[in-house]
Amino acid sequence: MVRIGPMASLFPMLDRRTLLVGLGAAAVATGLPAATWAQGRRSFAMSAKPESLMLRPGGAGTPIWSLVGDDVRMSRGETFELTLSNDLPAPLALCCRGIDGAAAAEPLLTRAPLASGAKESFQLPLRHAGTFLCDSGLLGDGQPRPLRAKPLVVLESERIAVDRDDVLLLEEWRLRPDGTAAAPGTDAKDTTPVYTVNGRTSFELSARANERLRLRFINASQRTVLAVKLESHEVRVMAIDGQPAEPFPARNGALVLAPGGRADAFVDVAATASILLHDGKEARSIGRLTLSSEPPLRPGPLPPAPPLASNGLPAQLDLKTAQRFELALGTPADWARPADFAASSPPAFRAKAGRAVVLALTNRAAIATVFHLHGHHFRLLDRLDDGWKPFWLDTLAIEPGQTQRVAFLAEHAGRFLIEQVPTDWASPRFVRWYSVE
């Protein structure tokens, strides 16, 4: 697991099953529409443009860059068609984290960076339900302003026994003494970290007693492993990185998410409670879950929910016949900064379609490093390679000097990126690519 200092005192160290790194029994009448298996195409428009956020109490808005457009909520089986305009004075590369198998829309490999003033359209087939992220951080290092991300929610085909479905987008900002914000990949000396939930430094969510909430937590920070804790409630983890998991309670109500990591949790509201965040240095309150003065929604809490329906990822992986590759993290050898990446560079590995792939990831850096796999989700293997954890990931934070082994089924043909980034604000992001043939 990723150890992040004094967080242990507030968020007791969790085993791998309860620590997220990068980690119905009864029918319910809900205001959420039942998603259907749809084969249609829905079009959205987004633009990347300058904005401002209120990050200092009583201060002026802080200039940032942001993805602006309607919130994206679609259904499994639909196709997401996006028209993206770049109204920034710098190139842009949008990555939709967690969307498997979209080789035709892979940034830097299939889609070249979008120039300032330009516009592009691309499509993403939404094979899986889950919580995903439209992130412009690939080319964000060293830019004049940090960039905001945007959630992408894909609803299940089945009706889910919850009363509310809310996204909590966690973002990190580094403020200089003059009130401007430093972009990742730049010197963070003399900056103060500020965290927002859905763009606000203080977030409040009101709910009735015994109301069941589905909370989609997203760590959209570019560098920092974040722990988020909901006091006095059981936080039941239902999905990780957009894929259903065997449900389990987060120990002490706390989740730990690597940058880009996501977790869906069910919470049955029982009382007013603080929402706390820990960045490895200190804990802070970032919001509150407030108990409404309205009568309880029902006499008592609902029974534990059944697992979410599978997205169709394989139940078993044949590790005996798997292709095996080693990747060294924490070193720039054979890796390129995204701005310098060439699609003609040699791949990190070539996988055969239909075969299992095992990657041995060794972090040679002096700090934790985050690994992100595009195009496929993977299982985290047990130490002896004789099994795996009961969830899927696309993002994993690895301690310095540690080797972790992950496995996935190479089911989507094409070329996809691999990313690594140290958990240090000033450190650069690096990329390579792999192919499934």
Q: Which two structure tokens, joined as six digits, stand for 43? A: 């079009």
CA distance readout (Å), 117 to 43, 88, 134, 152, 219: 21, 7, 20, 24, 29
Q: What are phi and psi of 26, to 5 degrees?
A: -115, 145
Structure token pair of residue 151: 């959630």
Confidence class of residue 23 from pLDDT cuts 50, 70 and 90? very low
- Report CA torsion sign: 136, 141, 143, 148: positive
pLDDT given for residue 252 in this prediction: 86
Note the pLDDT of residue 385: 67
Over the stretch 134-155, which tens digit does the pLDDT of each residue have?
A: 999 999 999 999 999 999 999 9
Give dist(CA 177, CA 133) in Å, integer. Answer: 30
The position carrying tokens 């934790």 is: 368
How many CB atoms are closer than 10 A to CB 204?
A: 11
Contact 361, 371 (CB under 8 A): yes
Say how far residue 116 (Cα) sits from the centre of its chain: 26
Per-residue pLDDT of 41-64, as tens digits, reads 899 999 999 999 999 988 889 999
pTM metric for this prediction: 0.92
Structure tokens at 93: 């590369």
List pLDDT tens digits, range 373-382. Answer: 999 999 999 9
How many CB atoms neighbour CB 354 within 10 A? 10
Nearest-angstrom CA–CA distance, 267 and 259: 23
- Which domains are assigned to the chain? 323-436 (2.60.40.420)
